[in-house]
Amino acid sequence: MAPPPSPITIGILEAGAVAEQLAARHGSFADACRRFLGRGDEQPAFRVYRSYLGELPASVSACDGWLITGSRYSAFDDDPWIADLAAFARAAAEARPVVGICFGHQLVAQAFGGAVERSSRGWGIGVHSYQVGRRRDWMTPALDEIALLASHQDQVTRLPDGAELLAGSDFCPYGLFQLGDNIVALQGHPEMTKAFAADLYAMRRDQFGRAIVDNALDSLAQPTHEDEMAAWLLRFLAAPDRSR
């Protein structure tokens, strides 16, 4: 009998630190991603690299796939680590699947020739829904709409050449895209819990605006699709037909 397949190893490229008062209760961005992707029957292994502190893998082959987290930074900031992370993403995508979430979504888009800007629509927080326009094989179970937590004021305003738009909304037209065989990026936060979101929104009430926060807190009663998104992204990250 053949041995069971080894679990894939996902490298989490952490793009920022969680505010201290939130981290004490909810943990780091990497902790959130581990919980999110470890919720199903498949249990990947994880390695964490604090990219915002200059930690990057020695090789793009160090893990089977890569995930770039959210961040309080903007992809267009001129911090050297952001340029270094973008360069790593470009190199990694030559042979490994790369997933970008929120900041990671924006960084990947910009790294491959797209554009990211501060949105004239303002802050997007609370539960946001994205309509699925195209489907790929890894998007199983099939959904017509994806509801996810959001927290961003920057947006992708132009996709890289050759990117395929998979889902979007009026507020965020470029909500989910795929570029080639090895890049998937999404603006929403499937790794974020509603408890974290409630604490984050309340903490930043003055920054976000009181009415916006009240509406966002009310939206947390809506169902969301974290389980389905975990299945989608694990299937994408574990796809066997890439050069290893």
Residues involved in catalysis = 102, 189, 191
Q: Enter the DSSP assignment of 69.
A: -
3-state SS, residue 29: helix
Backbone φ and ψ of 205, nearest 5°? -55, -40
Residue 90 in contact with residue 180, Cβ under 8 Å? no
Cα-Cα-Cα-Cα torsion 141, 145, 148, 153, nearest 10 degrees, comes to: 140
Residue 196 in contact with residue 116, Cβ under 8 Å? no
What residues have CB less than 8 Å from 50, skipping those under 6 apart? Answer: 14
Q: What angle do helix axes 80-92 and 103-111 make, rounded to 10 degrees? A: 70
Residue 204 in contact with residue 162, Cβ under 8 Å? no
Total Cβ atoms within 10 A of residue 104: 27
- Quote the strand ranges of 142-189, DSSP E: 145-152, 154-158, 163-168, 176-179, 183-186
Residue 228 in contact with residue 139, Cβ under 8 Å? no
Query: d(Cα 99, Cα 123) in Å, to the nearest integer?
Result: 23
Q: Which tokens hold the place of 124?
A: 């997007």
